Amino acid sequence: MTATVALVGANGHGLWHRRRIAELASAGVVRLVGLADLQPIETGPAEEGVALFTDHRDLLAATKPDAVVICTPPHTHLPIALDALATGCDVLLEKPPVPTLADHDALLAAVQAGGRACQVGFQALGSTASALLTEAIDKQTMGTVTGIAAVASWKRDDAYYSRAPWAGRRSVGGRPVIDGVLANPLAHALMQGLVAAATAGAGAPERLEIERYRTRPIEVDDTAFARITFAGGLRMTAAVTLAGEDFIAGEVIVNGTTGRAELEYPTDRLALPEESERREVPGRMDLLENLLAHRADPAGVALLAPLSGTAAFTALLETLTAPEQPLPAMIDDAYVTDAGSGPSRVRVIRGVNEVLRQAAATAALPSEFGVAWAVPPQSREITRD
């Protein structure tokens, strides 16, 4: 029987999910039964006759779908997901899943109590390249893992920060929201590194040293350098920016006692220790398709990105976005170049790519190797009650 699917958050990034659902529908895998969004929804030919809603609760009551994709602002995820689970739905929840470990525990308890499944939208975890890297770490192809780094250099224009009331903000109407370079657009870099660390047996993250920067008057970081120390002593460094020079799509670098592996996770390009260059590795399983296969055969098909596997990510996210954190340091305009104007203006930190690369290669933070605009890191212990 064809599974029924609904989407909450049909506009914005939800358009990507609608295209993917349409592809799965044309293949006979799913049937779309409802779309919900607070804003008007313009439907396409493949969505003719699909019920439209402004309230997700009305959608759930009227359509009772097998699975719900939730693509709303991150701070709204928990109540919508709990409502969907209570209705008997399985859930595909966009990243970041929830802002705190308390929310993570509450959502996981609801998943387990209802015998349901919750997949989180870290789609790169569905790639064959990611699976091969995990296998290489598990088999100690590069020996004992000695360090992990994640690096990415993207550009975002002014329009990116005006696309939604919560973009670039820490709160809206007194309600905390989630944004920032590691929390949202480059959360995949952080998650891929955490999966590599978990596979290496690193244990839970215990300490976070973070330098956070911004190039415009937003309330969150557009550039961040994080050094994470795990219970077993392994360290991971994440160096990422949305004010970059040459594009670095997103890399996870795993160093070991006998070799090194590199995964460019957005493009599924991988170099294992015996390979001198990255090669494209075909094959990526869609997370919604995987969720529905798991629904049909829970014992035989494992989720690729289960909620239960994101606790370390949420622990770091909670530390990164805690209300007591000071605003990120503003980088002086003397170090920043503007390209374009109006909503298309992009801010670029001169020399930032070299700083990213040096941090990834040395596990040092910019303030530790004398970068002119750098400020001392903030250090936080990561604990679970």
Over residues 164-201, the pLDDT tens digits come to 899 999 988 887 888 999 999 999 999 999 999 999 99
Structural domains present in the chain? 3-123 (3.40.50.720), 127-281+307-381 (3.30.360.10)
Rounded Cα–Cα distance for residues 74 and 178 (Å): 6
Helix ranges (DSSP H) in 66-186: 77-86, 101-114, 128-138
Tell me the mean pLDDT in the region 306-319. Answer: 96
pLDDT for position 385 = 56
333 neighbors 346 (Cβ within 8 angstroms): no
Confidence of residue 17 (pLDDT cuts 50, 70, 90): very high
Q: What is the mean pLDDT of the chain?
A: 96
Tell me the mean pLDDT in the region 74-101. Answer: 96
Tell me the mean pLDDT in the region 3-8. Answer: 98
Helix or strand or coil: residue 280?
A: strand
Q: Strand 243-256 and strand 145-155: pairing?
A: antiparallel
Over residues 314-350, the pLDDT tens digits come to 999 999 888 888 999 999 999 999 999 999 999 999 9
Cis peptide before 45 (omega within 30 of 0): no
Q: How many Å separate Cα 170 from the centre of its chain?
A: 18
Specify the amino acid at residue 252: V
Beta strands in the chain (DSSP E): 3-8, 30-36, 51-53, 67-70, 90-93, 118-120, 145-155, 171-172, 175-176, 205-214, 223-230, 235-241, 243-256, 260-264, 269-271, 279-280, 329-330, 336-339, 346-349, 378-381
pLDDT for position 176 = 81
pLDDT for position 324 = 83
pLDDT for position 171 = 85
Q: Residue 208 contacts by C-beta under 8 Å, 6 or more apart in sequence?
A: 226, 227, 228, 229, 316, 319, 320, 379, 380, 382
DSSP designation for 55: S
Rounded Cα–Cα distance for residues 269 and 281 (Å): 6
Over residues 352-379, the pLDDT tens digits come to 999 999 999 999 999 999 999 999 999 9
* Residue 295: closest CA among 27, 24, 30, 28: 30
- Residue 75 main-chain phi, psi, to 5 deg: -75, -5
Over residues 115-163, the pLDDT tens digits come to 999 999 999 999 999 999 999 999 999 999 999 999 999 999 999 999 9
pLDDT for position 173 = 82
Over residues 282-306, the pLDDT tens digits come to 999 999 999 999 999 999 999 999 9
